[in-house]
Structure 1
């Protein structure tokens, strides 16, 4: 495994953890007051968080890639 592959896999893995953590924290709040487990609201919380997280990850990738691969 070369350095480029290692950085790419690590980057995607880190963003999956970030997305899951942020989504779960938001979901915890809404489960207490707004919607029930397994409802459309819970699904939308994770989908919207995933989209936002993906956009941020794509935007930041070139900076991270240049920093670690150069």
Structure 2
């Protein structure tokens, strides 16, 4: 049976989805936390917004040879 994605993975996936579909101005901690199904505090604790941006950028570049934009 496959494991459920970790909260960190859900947060990163949500952040990436919001960036791609709605733009960077809507990628707030509130929006990411709501989409990931975690509290804003959990989202902030796992990774603040600046760190989240860095993690998402490095994750995307590691998973794809194409630029994010």
Same fold, TM-score > 0.5, yes or no: no
Q: Greater share of helix residues, 1 or 2? A: 1
RCO higher in 1 or 2 (8 Å CA, sep ≥ 6)?
1
TM-score range, shorter chain: 0.3 to 0.5
Question: TM-score, structure 1 length as denominator?
Answer: 0.34
Question: TM-score, structure 2 length as denominator?
Answer: 0.34
Higher-Rg structure is: 1
